[in-house]
Structure 1
Amino acid sequence: MHKPVLLEEAVELLLGSGGKVFVDCTVGLGGHAKRILEKNSQAFLIGIDRDPFALELAKENLRDFEGRFSLYKANYSDFDLVLKEEGVDLVDGFLFDLGVSMYQLKSPRGFSFQRDEPLDMRMDPEEKLTAYEVVNKYPEKELERIIREYGEERKARAIAKAIVLRRSRKPIETTKELADLVASVVKRHGRLHPATKTFQAIRIEVNKELDHLKKALWKTPGYLRSGGRLVVISFHSLEDRIVKTFFREHAHQLKILTKKPITPKKEEVMQNPASRSAKLRAGEKL
């Protein structure tokens, strides 16, 4: 099983206040969940994920802890509905590990341009909007806005123009077609593939990631018991900005435990280069 980023740091902060009921809002394959259940023998874990394939694997990976967890296919912005179903009013901790998982990047759903796959990018395959729709149906101005805002891509206008021109001749159907098209507009700088930011932007739009993050975070204080903890791991500046703003706006409810965000140690980055951009922020309910 792939080792989650900042595993020990996240779990230690989450469990630091004691308590028994924890919500892993992005349970994925169950890496953090497993460590939580190992380290706190009294813990009961509620795991949420919108990806049904990941949930199946999480169930398998947590089989040694039968009776100490329950898993739900849901969007984490609906965690309040999950808690209602569990009959739980207050919890001792929330964990969010944001972005796309390594498992999803390797699954044939068009998250990565390393392989040629249909343009999909849905974390939840039951959702209607796909990357194909975004790329082939969105107006040029809207494409430009998404690529600029969600990808922080300076060449957004040129990329949107190239996409619209190409799709007027024939639809853009695969990840390779899109990546090659972007690479024809954006010159490579350093290690980053020219299409990285555009792919990030389209994925965020397809899954409405930033909207759901805001909705979820702003709900958490109402469901944390006094002394309960919130731990969030983000992977790019857009997510981190939302998390920072949230903690600043809730200073009257949450004590910040991380004056500066915790980042992976050199050894972790060497073992898992994808972890290099991770930032962990945590707070405790007053």
Structure 2
Amino acid sequence: MKQIISACPGSCGEWMQGWMQGGEKLISYAIDRFSRVRLEETGNGLEDHQWLKRHRPRAFQMMGLIFEEVKASEKDRRSFRLKLESPLPLAKGMASSTADLAAVADGVARWFGMNLTPEKLTELCVQLEPTDSIIHPKTCLMDPLTGEVSVYFEQEPPPLELLILEGKKGIATASSRKPDHFEKRKAYEKEMEKALTLFQKGIREKNPSLLAKAAWISAMGNEAFYPQPGLREIRDLALESGGLGLNVSHSGSTLGLLFEPEALDEERFSKGWQVLSCRHHYEPPRRHQMIAGGIRREK
């Protein structure tokens, strides 16, 4: 039986997001949690597609875009059933929607013999909503609205681990941009340019402390949009426990506590976490790893 499996990683927010180089840009990183799509041969797939339409309407729209790309006939559209599975929470800033869209696009396109580049996948995703750069295997500076990449960094950040602090409050990507969005982003432009310079230096020198400092500057700028409960207190605790600092989801409610392998005193952090009043705004911390972005074609 013919079978296709495509997977796309999610994220824990972004290294940075704000007004840089003349427009809104972001730098995302991927984590070891995936949206996964499985396609299997059948004669009446349209019934199975209804689940996608009800529960993941954007992903259903993406399937329609791919049908148009490959000029699929009605018979072709019924030729497979599609199952989407993802542990990524919705509307928390963990790129669940981008991961869903990219996995669906890649899987359906490959069903019809078309291999999509990261650039093409991004182009399709931004037709439906603002998009993360985790579709790209290399770390890059990208416009989330157009998908245009300004910079592909020559080196990758050093391997880091993180504790994910998932906020309990959700924010839908498509509804997160208010009328004063760009004005607030532009007002913080000078700080974001400093952060970008720090990030570039951290990449060149393989210095994770500089990357974390850049992420913190960006996190502070994002407080004008989505204030995160206890952000400074949590960062202080992270540093006291051997961590590098925090990054945030710039359109969600999730934080990433960044640390080098084996550097975090998790017992100390856990004890400190239990006495923070802001902990009630977050799910229990979960440990994860940063990984390379990009689609995984598992079958």
Settle same-fold status: TM greater than 0.5.
Answer: no
More helix by share: 1
More strand by share: 2
**Structure having greater relative contact order (Cα 8 Å, sep ≥ 6):** 2
Query: Structure 1 length normalisation: TM-score?
Result: 0.28
